[in-house]
Homo-oligomer: A and B are copies of this chain.
Amino acid sequence: MRIRKTAEVRQAEIIDAALRLAARLGPERLTTEAIADAVGLTQPGVFRHFPTKQKLWEAVAARIGSMMETRWSKAQSPEDSPSSQLRAVVVAQLRLIQATPAIPAILFSRELHTQNEALRKYFLQLLGRFHGLVAEFVGRAKEVGEVRRDLEPDDAAYLIVSLVQGLAVRWSISARAFDLTGEGSRLLEVQLSGFRRARRGGRR
Q: Which residues of B contact A108 (CB under 8 A)?
A: 104, 108-110, 169, 172
Q: Do A107 and B155 form a contact, CB below 8 Å, given A26-B28, A202-B198?
A: no
Q: Do A173 and B28 form a contact, CB below 8 Å, given A159-B159, A162-B163?
A: no
Interface residue? A201 (CB, 8 A): yes
Task: Specify the chain B residue showing the minimal Cβ separation from A190.
Answer: B155
Q: What string of 1s and 0s marks CB contacts (under 8 Å) between A16-37 and chain B?
A: 0000001111111100000000
Interface residue? A133 (CB, 8 A): no
Q: Which residues of B contact A110 (CB under 8 A)?
A: 22-23, 26-27, 105, 108-109, 172
Interface residue? A4 (CB, 8 A): no
Residues of A93-118 whose CB lies within 8 A of B: 104-105, 107-111, 113-115
Q: Do A204 and B149 form a contact, CB below 8 Å, given A110-B27, A110-B172, A194-B191?
A: yes
Give the segment of A42-50, A54-62, A81-89, A120-128 that binds chain B. Answer: A120-128
The interface residues of chain A, by DSSP majority, are classed as helix
23 A-B pairs with C-beta separation under 8 A: A27-B110, A29-B114, A104-B108, A107-B169, A120-B173, A150-B193, A151-B190, A159-B163, A159-B187, A159-B190, A161-B170, A162-B163, A162-B166, A163-B163, A163-B166, A165-B170, A191-B194, A194-B194, A196-B202, A197-B202, A197-B203, A199-B202, A202-B202
Residues of A54-78 whose CB lies within 8 A of B: none
Q: How far is the CA of A196 from the CA of B151 in the complex (A)?
A: 14
Q: How far, in Å, is A147 (CB) from chain B's closest CB?
A: 10
Task: Specify the chain B residue showing the minimal Cβ separation from A164.
Answer: B166
* Partner among B27, B161, B173, B201 whose Cβ is within 8 Å of the Cβ of A198: B201
Q: Which residues of B contact A164 (CB under 8 A)?
A: 166
Q: How far is the CA of A199 from the CA of B148 in the complex (A)?
A: 12
Task: Specify the chain B residue showing the minimal Cβ separation from A148.
Answer: B202
Interface residue? A174 (CB, 8 A): yes
